[in-house]
Amino acid sequence: MGHNPLGQQTEYISRYAPHLLFPIARSESRKQLGIGSSLPFFGVDIWTGYELSWLDKSGKPVVAVAEFVIPCTSEFIIESKSFKLYLNSFNQTRFNSDEEVRSTIIDDLSRAAKADIGVTIFPLRGRAVTNYLADIAQPEAVLLDELDVVVDSYHPEPALLAIGTEQVEEVLVSHLLKTNCPVTGQPDWASIFIRYKGSKILHENLLRYLISFREHQDFHEHCVERIFCDLQRICKPESLSVYARYTRRGGLDINPFRASDSQATPDSIRLIRQ
């Protein structure tokens, strides 16, 4: 982490520089959760890049939005500032086609993360991006945020979680999740969706638990895995998925999804703060 560009004064390089990508091993954080090589969940991290640009073969700029899908089985995550610096290095670099840009990014990210990375590019000059960006989603879910709760803990408290006797299947959402960058301490804001089947998770307790992350410092992906593991261990649902949609910083948002079902997939949606 001593070479991590996050929190350091950085030169912004505008010509292609794949060496800027900074991988961070997932294993270090997972050890704290008692997770070894056998993962208790499936899932992906969906990143959206809103500030991708490069030069075409004539030197004319192209601007685009890109989506990157990183499997949770990858050995490494990509540190977000290094990702931003890497994408900035395309700004003054010429490429022959959109596909050349896409394949270049796939190769670089896959090499850094040590996994096969999915990349989709939506140039703003075409119609493809219109459908992707047109609608702000309002997913159907039970909103927890208006519950009248007393909060006195702002560090993760899994003991706050509790279940009742009723058997339910429901989707819950809170927009009050806040965590903090483990390097700079800057706040990270998210909406979190919890879909489960099993004994009813008491809503007031769950909301207090989610709020307890307010002063917690860790990367987005690790926070979601902690929440998933706590819910799985204490509430023991038959099925569970946890999906956090974080707000963007530096033109990137990160949206981790973890599920007990290998067939579960997250919706690629945009919320009002994204």
pTM for the model: 0.91
Model pLDDT for residues 198-212, shown as the tens digit of each residue:
999 999 999 999 999
Rounded Cα distance between 181 and 220, Å, is: 8
Calculate what percentage of the chain has a pLDDT beyond 70.
93
178 and 245 part of one domain: yes
242 and 202 part of one domain: yes
The predicted pLDDT at position 131 comes to 55
* Residues across the chain: 274
102 and 183 part of one domain: no
Among 115, 133, 151, give the residue marking a domain's end.
Answer: 133
Rounded Cα distance between 161 and 230, Å, is: 8
What is the secondary structure of 200-263 as a DSSP string?
EEPHHHHHHHHHTTTT-B--HHHHHHHHHHHHHHHH--SEEEEEEEEPPBTTEEEEEEEESSTT
Residue 84: inside a domain, yes or no? Answer: yes
Q: In this structure, are residues 48 and 248 in contact, taking their beta carbons and an 8 Å threshold?
A: yes
114 and 173 part of one domain: no
| Strands 163-180 and 142-143, bridge-based pairing | parallel
122 and 35 part of one domain: yes
Residue 50: inside a domain, yes or no? Answer: yes
The predicted pLDDT at position 27 comes to 96
164 and 126 part of one domain: no
129 and 158 part of one domain: no
105 and 154 part of one domain: no
Among 71, 101, 133, give the residue marking a domain's end.
Answer: 133
Model pLDDT for residues 162-174, shown as the tens digit of each residue:
999 999 999 999 9
CA 24 distance to own-chain centroid: 15
Residue 243: inside a domain, yes or no? Answer: yes
183 and 117 part of one domain: no
**At 26, which CATH number?**
3.30.1130.10
Residue 265: inside a domain, yes or no? Answer: no
The predicted pLDDT at position 126 comes to 61
Among 133, 158, 174, give the residue marking a domain's end.
Answer: 133
128 and 180 part of one domain: no
The predicted pLDDT at position 184 comes to 87
3-state helix, strand, coil in the chain (%, to 5): 25, 35, 40
Burial class from Cβ neighbours inside 10 Å (0-12, 13-18, 19+) for residue 124 reads middle
Residue 260: inside a domain, yes or no? Answer: no
Catalytic-residue membership of 72: no
Domain that holds residue 96: 18-133
Residue 262: inside a domain, yes or no? Answer: no
Show the low-confidence residues of the chain (pLDDT under 70).
Answer: 1-10, 126-135
Backbone angles phi and psi of 103, in degrees to 5: -65, -35
Report the number of distinct structural domains present in the chain. 2
The predicted pLDDT at position 267 comes to 87
Residue 261: inside a domain, yes or no? Answer: no
Residue tagged active-site, from 98, 108, 188, 218:
188
Burial class from Cβ neighbours inside 10 Å (0-12, 13-18, 19+) for residue 115 reads middle
Residue 271: inside a domain, yes or no? Answer: no
122 and 229 part of one domain: no
The SS3 assignment for 165 reads strand
Residue tagged active-site, from 181, 223, 229, 235:
181
Question: How many other C-beta atoms are found inside a 10 Å radius of the C-beta of residue 171?
Answer: 14
Catalytic-residue membership of 223: no
108 and 149 part of one domain: no
The predicted pLDDT at position 8 comes to 58
